[in-house]
Amino acid sequence: MSYWIFVLPGLLLAVLASLVTQTTFRRYSRVRPASGLTGAEAAERMLQSQGIVNVRIERGRGFLSDHFDPSANTLRLSPGVHDSPSLSAVGVACHEAGHALQKASGYGPLGLRSALVPVTQLGSQLAFPVILAGMVLHRPGLFQLGILLFAAVVAFTLITLPVEWNATARAKRLMVSSGIVTPQEQPHAASVLNAAFMTYVASAVSSILTLLYYLTLGGRRSD
Ligand SMILES: [Zn+2]
């Protein structure tokens, strides 16, 4: 019962944020920017406006699977973003271009997030089994190790927030100044990014609540 008290709010927020993101994306995927640019062209123009020419822009697979790969210095845009001349597509593409600009300008939190990826993968898989083992075997050290592993997951979801917000802020500013959208179109393209940011807030809230739940298990163990 108490498990759901901790997990349900984050879960509901995640579902809501995802629904709003998809609805907003679909709404503005039917609206063409006056510039007529596709997502791929928009990303290229935004990067060029900042003197960045060494970032590859590729067509990836899957709905809203868009991301920037820092190690390959490559933007992978989903087909619906890469090829589509819509406010949604240019919004998402410019956000991803914002991540490429973060790398080019040596934006600290991006490097920190990349460094946390391996620990986070380990943490999200091992934390609960280790915590459980600590409880069953009555080993407080093991229990604390599990908490520490999950704290890395929480740290990752928190450092993601400034990274995502900053990429969106760069996109909002540069999509107008580089002529990708007009100032009148900008709020519509930006609304997709604002909704997408809520999904990152949802996962941060989820991870914090899950950590709190694990900590209550520790309290129960010592009773
Ligand atoms: Zn992003």
Residues 6+ apart with CB under 8 A from 154: 204, 207, 208, 211
The residues pairing with 58 across neighbouring beta strands, listed in sequence order, are 76
The residues pairing with 209 across neighbouring beta strands, listed in sequence order, are none
C-alpha dihedral, 159 to 164 to 169 to 170, nearest 10°: 100
Distance from the alpha carbon of residue 119 to the mean position of ligand 1, in angstroms: 20
Per-residue model confidence (pLDDT) at position 63: 81
Distance from the alpha carbon of residue 189 to the mean position of ligand 1, in angstroms: 15
Per-residue model confidence (pLDDT) at position 223: 43
44 assigned to active site = no
Per-residue model confidence (pLDDT) at position 219: 67
Nearest to 159 by CA among 125, 194, 126, 207: 207
Q: Name the active-site residue from 41, 44, 96, 164.
A: 96
Q: Which two tokens stand for residue 66?
A: 């868009």
Q: What is the mean pLDDT of each run of 10 residues along the chain (223 residues)?
A: 82 93 95 97 97 95 88 94 96 97 95 90 93 92 94 96 98 98 97 95 94 85 46
Nearest to 48 by CA among 109, 111, 107, 94: 94
Distance from the alpha carbon of residue 118 to the mean position of ligand 1, in angstroms: 18
Domain containing 204 equals 2-221
Distance from the alpha carbon of residue 165 to the mean position of ligand 1, in angstroms: 8
pLDDT digits (tens, 9 = 90+) for 54-113: 999 999 988 878 999 999 999 999 999 999 999 999 999 999 999 999 999 999 999 999
The pTM (predicted TM-score) of the whole model is 0.91
Task: Output DSSP code: residue 62.
Answer: S
Distance from the alpha carbon of residue 95 to the mean position of ligand 1, in angstroms: 6
- Total of domains in the chain: 1
Cβ contact 75:59 at 8 Å: no
Per-residue model confidence (pLDDT) at position 220: 61
